[in-house]
Amino acid sequence: MGLVSAAPTPSTPSTPGEVAEAITEARSAGTALVPRRGGSVLARLPAGEGVGAGQDGDDGATAGPDGDDGATADTVPADPVGAGAVGTRPLDLGGLTGIVERRPEDLTLTVRAGTRLDEVAGVLAASGQECPIEAPTDARGALGTTVGGRLATALAGPRQLGARPLRDWVLRVRFVTGEARPARSGGVTVKDVTGFDLARLLCGAWGTLAVLTEVTLKVRPAPPHAAWFATAVPRERWLPRVFGPSAVVASPNETRVLLEGHPDDVAEQSAAAGLEPSEAPVPPATARLAVSPAALDAVTRRVATRCHDWAAFHGVGVLCVDAPHGELAALRAEAEAAGGSLLVLDPSAPGPALASDERPQSGRLVDALDPDRVLHPGVLATAPRRAS
C-alpha cells in the first residue's frame, strides 16, 4: 500500500473535534488517513513503501537497540483498514497551528501540533529560552518542520548527545485516537493501556495510534553562546579537554564539535582542545543507520569500506550515509546485525524505506487505540520484534 493514493482529496481539520469527524468518516468509508502537514519526511521515502514506527534508537515507542521501554512483542498487521479499504487520504493538520499557552516562569510551552518549529523557536527566544527538539537536517534539508511531525518521526539529531531524547521534552499531549476519541496523556484511561506513558508511545509512532492535536513542551534557558568547531585529531586526544560537548559529528576527514555555554568557557575549551571554528555539519542524505551508541564506532568502520561520505552522531547512535542504491541491502544487513535498522530517505531508491522494524507497535496497543487501522496503516511493519 502506498503512503498517499493518487490525487487524494485531503481532509483539513482545524479543531480536535474536526479531526475526530475526519476519523469517523474514514472508518465509515473504509479509508485510511495519513496525518501530515509539512510532509518533509514522507516526501523523502521510497514511493509505495511504508516504514516502521520509531526507526531511530532514541525515541521509539517500544524496545530499541539502546534499551528504551518496551510494550509487547505482538505483530502488527499492515493491512489497510480491513478488506473493504478504498484508498488512503492525507489528513492535513495545517489548520491546527498556534501557541496555546506560554509560561516562561514555569518553563513550559503549549502549542498545537501543526505549529512550525521555527515559530516555536522564535517565541522561546524572546524569553531567552529554547526547547532543543529542532529537526535534524541533511543535504536535502530538514527532517521535520512542525511540532507534530517532529514527534511523529522522532528522528535523532546530533544535538541529542547533550539535550537528551526528544521524548524527554514532552510533558503532555492531546490527541484523537483511531476510534475518534479525544484524549490526553497522564489522566485519561484509553481502553486497556492504562499505565503506559502515551506521550512516550506517540513519539516515533509515525502517525499511527492517534493524531496529535496539542503538545506541552518543557523548555530551558538558552545557552548564552553556541559554536561549531572542527578537528582532524583523533577523538581520544581532544575529548578529555572538552567538558560536555553538545554534539559530536564524525566524518571521513574531520570531526565537528558543538560547544555551548558562556563565551569565555567555549573559547577556553576550544583552544585547549585545539579545535578550529567551523560551520555546522551537513550530513549525507541517502539513508540513516540507527544502532546503539556503543556499537556506532564498529558499525562506522565497516560501513566506511562501502561509503565514502558518511556522518556519525556520537553518543546518539546514528550514521548518515550517501551510498549507491546497490549498497542499501548490505547496509541494512549491517545495521540489523548490530541490532539496529536502516531508514532510506531517497525517494528514487528501490525497495522499502525500512524493511523490518525492530520495534513494531504492540498489537494490543494498536487494537486499543486504532482497531480498524485507520491511521497510517502502511507505515507499520509486519515483522515481530526480535527477542531481546
Q: How far apart are CA 63 and CA 298, in angstroms?
A: 22
Helices and strands (DSSP H and E) totals, the chain = 10, 19
Res. 89 pLDDT band, cuts 50 70 90: confident
Higher pLDDT, 361 or 108: 108
Specify the residue for cell string 524493511. 355
The lowest-confidence range among 36-50, 66-80, 206-220 is: 66-80
| Phi/psi-derived region of residue 98, left when phi > 0, alpha when psi is between -120 and 50, beta in every other case | left
Q: Given a cut of 70, is residue 247 above it in pLDDT?
A: yes
> What is the arithmetic mean of pLDDT over 200-204?
86
Higher pLDDT, 272 or 380: 272
Residue 356 contacts residue 336 (beta carbons within 8 Å): yes
The lowest-confidence range among 68-82, 176-190, 293-307, 362-376 is: 68-82
pLDDT digit string (tens) for 319-356? 999 999 999 999 999 999 999 999 999 989 887 787 64
Res. 110 pLDDT band, cuts 50 70 90: very high
Chain length of the chain = 388
> What is the arithmetic mean of pLDDT over 303-325?
96
Nearest to 175 by CA among 188, 156, 166: 188
Question: What is the model's pLDDT at position 350?
Answer: 85
Res. 387 pLDDT band, cuts 50 70 90: very low
> What is the arithmetic mean of pLDDT over 208-231?
96
Question: What is the model's pLDDT at position 82?
Answer: 32
Q: Given a cut of 80, is residue 258 above it in pLDDT?
A: yes
> CA 371 → CA 122, 146, 191, 249, 360, distances in Å?
39, 27, 11, 41, 15
**Angle between helix 328-337 and helix 296-303 axes, rounded to 10 deg:** 160
Question: What is the model's pLDDT at position 17?
Answer: 96
Question: What is the model's pLDDT at position 384?
Answer: 28
Residues of the chain with pLDDT > 90, as a percent, come to: 61
Q: pTM score, two decimals?
A: 0.83
Question: What is the model's pLDDT at position 9?
Answer: 63
- Helix ranges (H only) for 248-343 are 263-273, 296-303, 328-337
Residue 324 contacts residue 344 (beta carbons within 8 Å): no
Specify the residue for cell string 496523556. 185
pLDDT digit string (tens) for 31-66? 999 888 877 787 777 754 444 444 554 433 322 333
Helix, strand, coil proportions of the chain in percent (round to 5)? 25, 25, 50
Burial tier of 73 (Cβ tally within 10 Å: 0-12, 13-18, 19+): middle
Q: How far apart are CA 167 and CA 100, in angstroms?
A: 20
Local structure of 304: helix, strand or coil:
coil
Higher pLDDT, 300 or 47: 300
Name 258's Cβ contacts closer than 8 Å, sequence gap at least 6. 158, 159, 162, 226, 227, 228, 229, 245, 246, 247, 248, 280
Q: What is the mean pLDDT of the chain?
A: 82
Question: What is the model's pLDDT at position 250?
Answer: 98
Residues of the chain with pLDDT > 70, as a percent, come to: 79
- Helix ranges (H only) for 240-369 are 263-273, 296-303, 328-337, 363-369
Question: What is the model's pLDDT at position 281?
Answer: 97
The lowest-confidence range among 91-95, 271-275, 349-353 is: 349-353
End-to-end CA distance of the chain: 30
Within 10 angstroms of residue 261's Cβ, the number of other Cβ atoms is 17
